[in-house]
Structure formats: structure tokens, C-alpha cells
């Protein structure tokens, strides 16, 4: 039996169509490229960012996006402008994460400190007994190095999982992790209070996603905490949230869906500091950075 289609909030969809027209005039282009940029996308200027796997918007500096390559690359952060400008690279020190499988980024504001969380949560063969999230202070403008200050180590209650999306729930101060490969895909919660423990903490499965059109490759919560955003290889999904609403309840409500334009391996996504904008990137050259309007 085919999966039951997701209930869609119809009033939301026309706003997506406005995004390309509103943003295309600002976009970069890659003429004569074997992989032309999607309409409305900017070209990422730093060609060393050739396998964009994680993306996160700075809270402190609204003009900055942070990104990483997929595993196998050197442990470094890429600082981008919102139009793909190259704003420099930051080497990450103090970790052995080079040998693991980092996939994604998240931002967490704790008091006056902005933490950039580096998600070493990939597990293609689903064999790892636990996974790690590394934390660095968000690098200051002009910084070229960042040092890992703590690690959150966790395992899943139902065995190893491959994941490419993490985010922080601002209402509970917990890390949320979205599994990628199984169906239904699951949302897990990990207490950030367990950071620094050598023994992996047990994650809690808190919700299942309704059937999606493809594997989940990104997860974020809007800066105001009022929506959960999921990226797949085919679309962006947005679930509105009322303050404190349980995530299982959020994910059972009608979803707002936007099909992506032709775009190879869309595996990086971040909600922007400006209301109603999501940035999507992919693991290929030339690397596109596609802003999509997802709200009023």
C-alpha cells in the first residue's frame, strides 16, 4: 500500500512560488556549467566547499552562514555571506572527528554564549555504538581557529541510526536529532546537560514523521521557535508549532511543503535570521546556495 499523502496547508504554498521571483534578481549564476544552478540560487564562491553537508545561520551576525564539507575533508568551518560570498575559513582544533562522519551543524545560544554544534552523527552502515556532537564557540569575525570545548556523546534506544539533521529546541534546551534511512523516520531528544560525559547518554525517541517523499537530510527550528523545518532530497517541509507544543503533536498536524527545483544531493539547510527564509545547499560543484521563502 502506498503511504498516505501528507495533509498540506494549502494557503502556504503560493508563497513558495513568490520566492524565485523575489530572489532570482539577486542570484549568482554559473554559465556553461555541467550542473547549472537552480533558478534563484547564489553561487558559493569558495570552491573548497565542494560537498556542502551542513549549514547554519549565525545568531550573532545576521549576515553570516556557517558550513562544513561532508566527512573525509579537513575539520574546518566555512564562513559564508548570504549570497554565497567567501568570508574565510576556520580550522577546528582539539578533536579526532576527522576519522568519523560529521554531517551537520546546529546553533545554540546559552546565556551570552553562542555555541556552534558540529554533528558527527553520520552512520551509513548503521554500526556505530554511539555518535558525537562537538561544540565550539561561534568564531569571532576574522578568527581562523576554533577549539572544541565539550562533546555530547549519545546512543539510540533502538540501535545505531544514520542521521544528517540536528537542531536545538529553544524551549527545552535539548538537542533534537532526525534519523535518515528507516521508515518512518524518527525524531530523538538528547539532553544537552549530558555534555562532557564519557559514557554515552541514551537518546529518547519522541516522535515519528509522517511519510516523506525522500530521505531526510536536514533539520532546523526557526529562530523564533515557531516551526520545525525538515529538508529531504526532494522538498522542504515546515510544521508550525505553538509554544511548548509536544513534537509528536506538531508532526501530526498539516505540513507546509515546497518541492525543490532540480538540485543534486540537497543535504544542507538552515533557517535564516530573517523571518520566513530557508537556505538550501547541495553536495556538488558548482555549489548552489538557494534561499526559499517559507512564510509571510
pLDDT digits (tens, 9 = 90+) for 112-133: 999 999 999 999 899 999 999 9
CB within 8 Å of 213: residues ≥ 6 apart:
232, 234, 235
Give the pLDDT confidence score for residue 14 in this predicted structure: 34
Stretch 138-159: mean pLDDT? 96
> 16: pLDDT confidence band, cut at 50, 70 and 90?
very low
Q: What is the pLDDT of residue 89?
A: 98
Distance CA 266, CA 26 (A): 21
The CA-atom distances, in angstroms, between 53 and each of 77, 99, 119, 260 are 11, 16, 10, 17
Dihedral, CA atoms, 213, 218, 224, 225, nearest 10 degrees?
70
Please determine, for residue 289, whether its predicted confidence score (pLDDT) is greater than 60: yes
Answer yes or no: is pLDDT of 24 > 70. Answer: no
Cα–Cα–Cα angle for 60, 64, 68, nearest 5°? 110
Is residue 47 scored above 80 in pLDDT?
A: yes
What gap in Å lies between CA 289 and CA 286, rounded to an integer? 10
Pick left, alpha or beta for residue 23 (phi over 0 → left; psi -120 to 50 → alpha; otherwise beta): alpha
- The mean pLDDT value for 34-60 works out to 89
Q: CATH code at 81?
A: 2.120.10.30
pLDDT number for residue 31? 41
Residue 22 has pLDDT above 60, yes or no: no
- Which 3 state secondary structure label does DSSP give 22? helix
Instruction: Please give the residue that has the higher pLDDT: either 9 or 235.
Output: 235
Task: Evaluate whether residue 43 is within a structural domain.
Answer: no
pLDDT number for residue 243: 85
Kindly state the DSSP code that residue 125 receives in the 8-state scheme. T
**Does residue 118 sit within a domain?**
yes
- Phi and psi of 211, rounded to 5°? -55, 130
Q: How many structural domains is the chain composed of?
A: 1
Q: In this model, does residue 296 exceed pLDDT 60?
A: no
* pLDDT tens track for 48-104: 999 999 999 998 898 999 999 987 678 899 999 999 999 999 999 986 655 577 889
Mean pLDDT of the chain: 86
Parent domain of 145: 10-29+49-282
* Helical ranges in the chain per DSSP H: 13-24, 247-251
Question: Does pLDDT of 29 surpass 60?
Answer: no
Alpha-carbon distance of 181 to 282, in angstroms, equals 18
Using DSSP, how many helices (H) and how many strands (E) does the chain show? 2, 22
pLDDT for 30 beyond 70: no
Backbone angles phi, psi at 154, to 5 degrees: -150, 165
Q: Is 201 inside a domain boundary?
A: yes
Give the pLDDT of residue 25. Answer: 38
Q: Is residue 37 part of a domain?
A: no
The strand pair at 42-43 and 52-57 is best described as: unpaired
Where residue 159 falls (left for φ over 0; alpha for ψ -120 to 50; beta otherwise) is left
Does 200 reside within a domain? yes
CB atoms within 10 A of CB 82: 19
* Per-residue confidence (pLDDT) for residue 5, from 0 to 100: 41
Q: Is 99 part of any domain?
A: yes
Asked whether residue 42 is domain-assigned, the answer is no
Residue 36 counted as domain residue: no
Instruction: Count other C-beta atoms under 10 Å from residue 235's C-beta.
Output: 16
Is 171's pLDDT higher than 70?
A: yes
pLDDT of 241 > 50? The answer is yes
Write phi, then psi, for 168 (nearest 5 degrees).
Answer: -115, 130
> What is the C-alpha to C-alpha distance for residues 183 and 208, in angstroms, rounded to an integer?
9
CA dist., res. 135 & res. 150, Å (int):
6
DSSP secondary structure code for residue 82 in this structure: T
Residue 223 has pLDDT above 70, yes or no: yes
Confidence of residue 218 (pLDDT cuts 50, 70, 90): very high
**Cα-atom radius of gyration of the chain, to the nearest Å?**
18
Amino acid at each position: 500500500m502506498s503511504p498516505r499523502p501528507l495533509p498540506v496547508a494549502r494557503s502556504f504554498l503560493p508563497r513558495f512560488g513568490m520566492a524565485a521571483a523575489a530572489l532570482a534578481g539577486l542570484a549568482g549564476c554559473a554559465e556553461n556549467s555541467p550542473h547549472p544552478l537552480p533558478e534563484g540560487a547564489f553561487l558559493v564562491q569558495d570552491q573548497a566547499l565542494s560537498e556542502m553537508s551542513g549549514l547554519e545561520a549565525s545568531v550573532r551576525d545576521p549576515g553570516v552562514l556557517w558550513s562544513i564539507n561532508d566527512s573525509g575533508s579537513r575539520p574546518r568551518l566555512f564562513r559564508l555571506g548570504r549570497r554565497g560570498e567567501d568570508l574565510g575559513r576556520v580550522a577546528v582544533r582539539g578533536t579526532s572527528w576527522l576519522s568519523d562522519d560529521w554531517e551537520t551543524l546546529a546553533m545554540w545560544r546559552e546565556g551570552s554564549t553562542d555555541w556552534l554544534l558540529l554533528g558527527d552523527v553520520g552512520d551509513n552502515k548503521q554500526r556505530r555504538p554511539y555518535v558525537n556532537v562537538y561544540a565550539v564557540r561561534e568564531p569571532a569575525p576574522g578568527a581562523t581557529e576554533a577549539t572544541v570545548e565539550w562533546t555530547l556523546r549519545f546512543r539510540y534506544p533502538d540501535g545505531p541510526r544514520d542521521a544528517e539533521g540536528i537542531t536545538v529546541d529553544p524551549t527545552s534546551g535539548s538537542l533534537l536529532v532526525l534519523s535518515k534511512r528507516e521508515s518512518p523516520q524518527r525524531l530523538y531528544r538528547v539532553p544537552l546537560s549530558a555534555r562532557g560525559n564519557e559514557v554515552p547518554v541514551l537518546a529518547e525517541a519522541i516522535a515519528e514523521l509522517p511519510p516523506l517523499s525522500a530521505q531526510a537530510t536536514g533539520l532546523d527550528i526557526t529562530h523564533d521557535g515557531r516551526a520545525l523545518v525538515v529538508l529531504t532530497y526532494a522538498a522542504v517541509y515546515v510544521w508550525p508549532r505553538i509554544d511548548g507544543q509536544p513534537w509528536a503533536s506538531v508532526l501530526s498536524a498539516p505540513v507546509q511543503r515546497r518541492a525543490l527545483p532540480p538540485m543534486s544531493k540537497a543535504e544542507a539547510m538552515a533557517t535564516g535570521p530573517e523571518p520566513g527564509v530557508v537556505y538550501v545547499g547541495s553536495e556538488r560543484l558548482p555549489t548552489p546556495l538557494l534561499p526559499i521563502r517559507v512564510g509571510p
